Amino acid sequence: MGPIHPETARRIACDAVRTVMTVAPPADGAGWTTIRPRVMPLSVGRAARIIPPHIRTALRLRDQGCRFPGCDRPPGWTDGHHIVHWPDGGRTELDNLVSLCRPHHRRVHEQGWRIHIADGIAVVEPPP
């Protein structure tokens, strides 16, 4: 689909199945552009689930739905959001995850809302 904004990539990576594919330009170099690269797949890695089922179950039980202030969307409508993003070293553990519905997940990423866990409850606060 082409390039996407880094924050969009972080949001998608928060709660996704990730497959790493290694590619190379074709041997003759023909068609190798950054706009629409023609590539040769070299290897396709095993899909790695970012949030394992037992942690997802515990997360949904703890949060009972989207934790964004005023939102009442149920657990089945939520994604798991990494409070410290996993590319930044954030772990896929209950104390680094929060349930957010899709619109609020997008909003947290794109507007910089802050999240922390206080007394076992995820607290979502507006950007400074």
Provide the binding-site residues for Zn ion, judged by CB under 5 A: 11, 14, 66, 68, 71, 73, 81, 101, 104
State the nearest-atom distance from the C-beta of 49 to Zn ion, in Å: 16
State the nearest-atom distance from the C-beta of 120 to Zn ion, in Å: 20
State the nearest-atom distance from the C-beta of 91 to Zn ion, in Å: 14
Q: Which is nearer to Zn ion, 60 or 73 (CB)?
A: 73
Q: Cα separation of 32 and 25, whole Å?
A: 6
Are 78 and 63 in contact by the 8 Å Cβ rule? The answer is yes
CA-based nearest residue to 68, from 113, 118, 121, 124: 124
Q: Which is nearer to Zn ion, 28 or 88 (CB)?
A: 88
Backbone angles phi, psi at 12, to 5 degrees: -65, -40
Q: Which is nearer to Zn ion, 62 or 104 (CB)?
A: 104
Are 65 and 99 in contact by the 8 Å Cβ rule? The answer is yes
Q: Which is nearer to Zn ion, 3 or 70 (CB)?
A: 70
